[in-house]
Every structure is written in C-alpha cells, then in structure tokens.
C-alpha cells in the first residue's frame, strides 16, 4: 500500500518529481481533457508495469529500454484506438499527446525505476498510485485553469455571465499552467513537510 500512496503524494510525478510536464501543461486547460489524459496514463502505466514486472526475469539487461518502449507503445496504441473509437471528441482535443504517452518520462521512469526491479503486486500498486497522482494533479490543474480561464467547469458556466465575458485568459495559456503548477507544488510541499 505504501507504493500506492507514495505515487499519489510523496513521489507525485507532476508536483514532486516534475516529470511529464509537457502533456500536463498542454491538456490541463479543461477538466474533461485532464481526466481523459489521466485515465489514459493510468491505463498505460499500470498495464506496462504489470507486463514489465512479469517479464523482468527474461528481459535481457542490455535491451531492456527498447523492450520497455515496445511494451509501452502497445498499450498506448490500444488507448489511442479505443479513445478514437469511443471518445472521438476527447481524442481530437488531446491530439498528439495521446501517442506521445510512449515517450512520457513518467511511464518510462516507472518501468525502469520500479517495475523492472519489483514483483507484480508492488508494480501494480506503483502503477496505480503514480497514475492516480498524475491524474489528481492534472485534474486539479484542469479545474483551476478552466474555472479562472473560461469561467466554466465541465463546460458549464459557474462564475456568472460577467466573468464568462471577461475571464482571466492567462490561465488557459501556458504561463497560467505554470502558475497553477507552482501553486500546487507549494501546497503539496507544505503538506509533505508536516508529515
């Protein structure tokens, strides 16, 4: 259970390790996009961890990275096709960032740093925890950025007509994403120091 909780808080990929920031900044402009990317990362990360952990004793050391990439790209392709077939609007909104999960530092980092060295149960918990940590971070970012940058949540206006006409557009632009990440990193840092 420690591996699961560590992935959410102590080793949060976005807010502590600061990896996977490109897709985080690009797709966290709305809650729907953030959740879509989060679910995709949870799926790819967990199933890649499972596969790598199961095969770790037969993967030769000198070719492990190419093997990891093949495994990861298989699950990314599955995600890409399923999203394209069953969530075409989300697929279109996320664009190139779904196929780029293959080279996301979070996925490869957990494969190399954890799944290749740990048994199946721990690797599942690590994949789920790290994926959930990513999803939680990107979800909160998406909610803040959509609320302040558009005055909506899930596309529905929540801050009134006046705010909807003059939202703080900075928050749906990359600098706004960096501001939200910094603020969330600070909050998590304070929380972790209290432990």
In the predicted structure, residue 114 carries a pLDDT above the cut 80: yes
* Buried-state track 33-58, b at ≥16 Cβ within 10 A, e below 16: bbbbbbbbbbbbbbbbbbbbbeebee
Stretch 126-137: mean pLDDT, rounded?
Answer: 94
- Each domain of the chain, given as residue ranges in start order, spans 2-141
Mind listing the pLDDT tens digit for each residue in 25-53?
889 999 999 999 999 999 999 999 999 99
Which one is predicted more confidently, 1 or 129?
129
* Distance (Å, whole) CA 25 – CA 56: 33
Residue 17 pLDDT > 90, yes or no? no
Percent of the chain whose predicted confidence (pLDDT) is above 70: 98
Concatenated DSSP letters for 112-178? IIIITTS-HHHHHHHHHHHHHHHHHHHHHHHHHHHHHHHSEETTEE-SHHHHHHS--GGGGSHHHHH
Average pLDDT value for the chain? 90
User: What pTM does this model have?
Assistant: 0.89
Residues 73-90: tens digit of each pLDDT: 999 999 999 999 999 999
């Amino acid at each position: 259970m420690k591996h699961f909780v560590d992935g959410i808080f102590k080793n949060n990929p976005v807010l502590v390790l600061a990896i996977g920031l490109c897709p985080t900044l690009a797709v966290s402009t709305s809650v729907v996009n953030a959740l879509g990317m989060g679910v995709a990362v949870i799926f790819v990360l967990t199933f890649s961890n499972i596969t790598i952990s199961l095969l770790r004793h037969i993967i030769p050391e000198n070719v492990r990275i190419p093997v990891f990439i093949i495994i990861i790209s298989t699950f990314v392709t599955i995600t890409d096709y399923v999203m394209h077939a069953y969530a075409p609007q989300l697929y279109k909104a996320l664009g190139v960032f779904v196929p780029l999960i293959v080279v996301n530092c979070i996925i490869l980092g957990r494969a190399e740093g954890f799944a290749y060295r740990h048994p199946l149960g721990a690797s599942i918990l690590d994949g789920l925890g790290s994926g959930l940590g990513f999803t939680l971070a990107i979800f909160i970012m998406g909610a803040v950025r959509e609320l302040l940058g558009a005055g909506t949540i899930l596309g529905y206006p929540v801050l009134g007509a006046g705010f909807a006409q003059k939202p703080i557009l900075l928050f749906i632009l990359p600098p706004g994403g960096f501001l939200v990440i910094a603020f969330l990193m600070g909050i998590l840092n304070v929380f972790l120091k209290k432990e």
